[in-house]
Amino acid sequence: RLLDFYFEVLQFQRLADNWGEDFRFEKERGSDRQSLRLTLNCLDPARLLAERQQPLHSLTAFSATLSPPDWTRRTLGLGPEAVFRREASPFAASQLEVFLATAVDTRFSQRQQSLPRLAELLLAWLDREPGNCIIYFSSYRYLQDCLALLQAQGLESLRSCLWVQQREQEDAGRDQLLRQLETRRDVVALCILGGVFGEGIDLPGERLTSVVIVGVGLPQFNRDTRMLQAWYQQRCGAGFEYACLYPGMQKVDQALGRVIRASDDRGRALLVDSRYGQRQYRELLPPWWSYCAWEEAKR
């Protein structure tokens, strides 16, 4: 144990060699007052990334979610000389219909009040849209609160296979969902936005025909978020955008990308939050899909 501690201290020291104004050093005593926890928090990796990139002849960064350009350049340490180019989507806009349900307020302060309306909306969506569906929530607590209402109001009559992401999800649980989506067409999965099921999984064809995204992906407003927001406000004059808005909407874009994976795929998506009616959120959605109000779709 002493040898393990020695190597951990060496690793901590190596990390501390990267210290700069973009780091924060945190010290916290344990509940027993006998232990001490030291944390090196890198608020902004741009400087370190730029140092690694400097010796390179060229660098290409490729992703469907590298936007907006100024934020991407700044956070990846690319500098103002980096050329940003958006290519056309390989998919047709008609392949994915995206509906915006702006009548439900999912902000933290309004969640309990809007839960009944949210549950009603989700049940209406599942009744309207056959096939496998993933519903994304911003937190486990929100997911569980909504699940209780859905089950009380007859969720099992709309989908016979329910899968719920757990806090400590093992690989076996992940594989189980992927198998169910591959072999069944009556699955509804409740997952966390920005988690393992929000990106990096390929579900072509009828494995996934619709997604619902509840919220706009903003992080919890805690001490870390406040530090990050203050840092970017000081450096860029855009603390909320860089620390909260852009990373949150990037999660939304990634989750939307789970539905259409091939040229012959067809699907639908529902975005639930009153903020999707605001320009600063709408303009961050992928421009290659078609969007309409959920209220119009019900007519």
Residue type at position 9: V
Burial label, 9 (beta-carbon count in 10 A; 0-12, 13-18, 19+): exposed
Strand duo 133-137 + 161-164: pairing: unpaired
Burial label, 156 (beta-carbon count in 10 A; 0-12, 13-18, 19+): exposed
Q: Which CATH number fits domain 93-297: 3.40.50.300, 3.30.160.60, 2.30.40.10, 2.60.40.10?
A: 3.40.50.300
Q: Which of 77-91, 105-119, 181-195 has the lowest mean pLDDT?
A: 77-91
Tens-place pLDDT, residues 100-123: 999 999 999 999 999 999 999 999
Q: Evaluate if residue 28 carries a pLDDT over 90.
A: no
d(CA 165, CA 177): 9
Q: Evaluate if residue 172 carries a pLDDT over 80.
A: no
Percent of the chain with pLDDT over 90: 75
Taking the C-alpha atoms of 167, 168, 171 and 175 in order, what is their torsion angle to the nearest 10 degrees?
Answer: -30
Q: Of 67, 134, 61, 48, give the one whose Cα is nearest residue 287.
A: 67
d(CA 252, CA 98): 12
Question: Which residue carries 């007859």 as its tokens?
Answer: 154
Q: Within a 10 A sphere around the Cβ of 3, how many other Cβ atoms?
A: 7
Residue 126 Cα distances to 13, 150, 210, 238, 280, angstroms: 53, 11, 9, 38, 29
Q: Within a 10 A sphere around the Cβ of 18, how many other Cβ atoms?
A: 14
Q: Evaluate if residue 34 carries a pLDDT over 80.
A: no
Q: Evaluate if residue 31 carries a pLDDT over 80.
A: no
The residue among 172 and 156 whose pLDDT is bigger is 156
Q: Evaluate if residue 298 carries a pLDDT over 70.
A: no
d(CA 30, CA 148): 35
Query: Under a CB-based contact definition with an 8 Å cutoff, are residues 188 and 161 in contact?
Result: yes
- Mapped onto helix, strand or coil, the DSSP state of residue 211 is strand
Confidence of residue 170 (pLDDT cuts 50, 70, 90): low
* CATH 3.40.50.300 in the chain, residue ranges: 93-297
Report the mean per-residue pLDDT for the chain: 92
- pLDDT recorded at residue 299: 60
236-244 long-range CB contacts below 8 Å, 24 or more apart?
A: 236/74, 241/71, 242/71, 242/74, 242/75, 243/219, 244/218, 244/219
- Mapped onto helix, strand or coil, the DSSP state of residue 28 is strand
Q: Evaluate if residue 208 carries a pLDDT over 80.
A: yes
- pLDDT recorded at residue 36: 85
d(CA 50, CA 65): 20
Q: Evaluate if residue 80 carries a pLDDT over 90.
A: no
